[in-house]
Amino acid sequence: MAENILEVKDLVKHYPLTQGVLFKKQVGAVKAVDGISFELKKGETLGIVGESGCGKSTLAKVLMNLERATSGQVLFKGEDISQLSGAALKSVRRNIQMVFQDPYTSLNPRMTVGDIIGEPFEIHPEVAPKGDRRKAVQDLLDVVGLNPEYINRYPHQFSGGQRQRIGIARGLALKPEIIICDEPVSALDVSVQAQVINLLEQLQSEFELSYMFIAHDLSIVRHISDRVGVMYLGKMVEIGSDEEIYDNATHPYTQALLSAVPVPDPAARESRDRIILSGDIPSPANPPSGCRFRTRCWKAEDRCAEEIPLLAVPTVLKGAAAHDSACHFPEVRVQAAA
């Protein structure tokens, strides 16, 4: 677990806002990802949580090089892949694959399952020679728990959970080292979610995969992740092991997020000490100065508007509370006695 397979350094993705038809003039930028650094270790699962609009999906796209980073580096095994193109990009992409959120729109309805899962082999023929492809696809179907005889069926003949398995098989086809899962279970029924989570965990140990697991369901993220990063408005506000984040969160946003999650236990209803945040997430085109969370934070002071808090281990805290947190006033929240 020591080796860093992916290292992200100060990654920025801005989308320009332009004005004018003929002479486009840049009038601003949507700061979707604004200076994010983290690393992913081999065989590890890094969970990324945050509300919609916080930039977690943009982050995934930039890591996949589907969107080009504005600045910053993405190091895959020490090599910067963020500015690669052509053949070099193609060969490195083999190692990073993606599983998408919606199994209904991410599979082409006119292609058979065999064609969908086999398409990566067309692009990277070195992985499976032409004659072996059918066999390779059937093996993949078997690995994800689908009947290999389904190879000639179309996506509409499958349920949501089965479709997500097809999406996972496609992600596995090129034997990647990293799989980025963008909300892989949020479109599935509750009783099927657990099946897909189990499959992902089983595949991880079988193929030594590293996962980046993007989701908004905090209990699932906790179950599957070794480390968790919390994003807010294009910034990583806190990152640490699951215990550090879930039991010893020091950033107010993480605390609010955790307290807002409904707990499936009616006995906890009265004893819970919830933080209800006021207002909505500000626009990423015009984020607040200083700390981006200050407009909704109950701890905010003048300093928060002037100085951007850096993601670092706070020196004043000890033990599990001492992990990366981007707050001027980090402290573990004291829960009211249950």
- By CB under 8 A, name the binding residues for another protein: 51-52, 159-162, 189-195, 197-198, 201-202, 216, 218-220, 222-223, 242, 256-257, 260-269, 274, 276-281
Of residues 25 and 269, the one with the C-beta less far from another protein: 269
Please identify which residue in the block is written with the tokens 């707050």.
327
DSSP for 230-276, please give it: EEETTEEEEEEEHHHHHHH--SHHHHHHHHHSPPS-GGGTTT-----
Of residues 26 and 147, the one with the C-beta less far from another protein: 147
Residue 54 Cβ vs another protein, minimum distance, rounded to whole Å: 9
Residue 309 Cβ vs another protein, minimum distance, rounded to whole Å: 20
Burial label for 134, CB within 10 Å (0-12, 13-18, 19+), is middle
Of residues 149 and 265, the one with the C-beta less far from another protein: 265
Of residues 276 and 334, the one with the C-beta less far from another protein: 276
Closest CA to 46 of 204, 210, 197: 210
At 198, list the tokens: 């189990």
Residue 23 Cβ vs another protein, minimum distance, rounded to whole Å: 28
Task: Determine contact, residues 213/33, Cβ cutoff 8 Å.
Answer: no
Residue 275 Cβ vs another protein, minimum distance, rounded to whole Å: 9
Contacts of 74 (CB under 8 A, 6+ apart): 6, 7, 8, 9, 11, 62, 63, 65, 80, 81, 82
Of residues 29 and 281, the one with the C-beta less far from another protein: 281
Of residues 260 and 313, the one with the C-beta less far from another protein: 260
Residue 127 Cβ vs another protein, minimum distance, rounded to whole Å: 30
User: How far lies 81's CA from each of 7, 88, 292, 298, in Å?
Assistant: 10, 9, 29, 40
Task: Determine contact, residues 104/156, Cβ cutoff 8 Å.
Answer: no
Residue 234 Cβ vs another protein, minimum distance, rounded to whole Å: 16
